[in-house]
Amino acid sequence: MSKLRPVLRQLLILLLVTVTYTLQASPNSPSNSQVERSRAKIVNRVQQLDLPLKVATTDDFTDRKINEYLELGHRSTERMLGRANQYFPVFEYYLRKHHMPASLKYLAVAESMLVPGAVSPVSAAGLWQLMPETAREMGLRVDSIVDERLDLYRSTEAAVLMLKRLHGEFGDWHLALAAYNCGNGRVRKAIRLAGTKQYSKVQAFLPGETQRYVASYVAAAYAVNYYGDHGLIPYELEGTDYVMVHRYMNLAKVARECDVRIATLRRLNPNFVRGYVPSNVSGYRLRIPSQKKQEVQHFLWGRPNLVELPRTEDLPAAHATAAMMGYDPQMILLGVSAERLLFKRPSWAFQSLRDGLLMNFYDSYQALALA
């Protein structure tokens, strides 16, 4: 057996040399110059995206992630792009509201592929993959009834404020994104070990996943902006809208009364864990298919709920709807109780109060009614 070992070693070396030569000689294997040209093209495109961090070059991991988005996983990417058409306007609103770079919206792609009900093995959840403790620190409700990490609007604002706080702490977007992934405590420790805040040196002291996190964000941004060059087409999804719900409301009942599939309501509202909207003074957004909004609103008119008629170009129609239902929004604004709206004619005191106020502002606002 000992005599065979040198022979086997020589055969193995010969095999490795042969395989290496074959791969180098293969007409299908890209040359180093082709790889470099492709990478330079990607970097040039990324620099045009106006990301909040500087990308001087890409690495093998970034190139692999871009290939996963645009080649290997193109079907899931097309579905993600369809969801992006719905979610990005919401992301952009909150980023603009808090004076943050609009391109941070791509971070949610790297986090969850824009799957609103996504839950990781370590219990991070939602579009922005917030941990339960972190979400509660940011003011979100996370319990067995409501998980606001799965709420499109509230989770987005919480994530934006968290990113703003992290950037304020570190003053660098590379470090802020790293802290979003692994926590600001680990980033502070990595800075101490590196003896500097320079990200290229801090990176080596971060957890393995976090070391690749900035690259994942860059790859997501690239995929969202250049998918068309790779022949991808976003999935067409049905439009969605929302109504505000302030009182207890069972999703199954809304689905039954308004001819909406319960599976659709559950998919659009994964934040209502038990399948109902609990009472809340501030109200919860109930996401619904756009074509069903009028039916859902009419259903809610007959329930003990504050109903909002969105402002349109045809305000008289909104007033006519309220009048048809027997409600006067002006009376609500002036404090008339709900139970007296239908049966109580305006008193002399009420008329005097209304005449004494400048009510011309009313036509510029949304019509409200309390059923």
* Residues annotated as catalytic (active site), given as ranges: 111
Distances (CA, A) of 23 to 12, 15, 17, 20, 59: 17, 12, 10, 5, 22
Distances (CA, A) of 198 to 95, 163, 180, 190: 26, 19, 17, 11
Q: Of 258, 279, 280, 255, whose CA–CA distance to 267 is shortest? A: 255
Residue 15 has which token pair? 């095999």
Helix spans in 103-145 (H)? 107-112, 132-137
Task: Please state at what angle helix 213-226 crosses helix 74-97, rounded to 10 degrees.
Answer: 100
At 211, list the tokens: 């070391």
**CB-based burial of residue 188 (10 Å sphere; 0-12 exposed, 13-18 middle, 19+ buried)?**
middle
Tokens representing residue 228 in the block: 């068309």
C-alpha 266/C-alpha 150 separation (Å) is: 11
CA nearest 159: which of 182, 180, 178, 187? Answer: 180
For 300, how many CA atoms within 13 A lie in the half-sphere containing its CB? 27
Residue 124 is classified by DSSP as: -
Distance CA 251, CA 244 (A): 13
Query: What's the token pair of residue 282?
Result: 């501030």
- What is the 8-class DSSP label of residue 369? E
C-beta separation of 127 from 118 below 8 A: yes
Rounded Cα distance between 131 and 348, Å, is: 57
Residue 54 in tokens: 């500087």
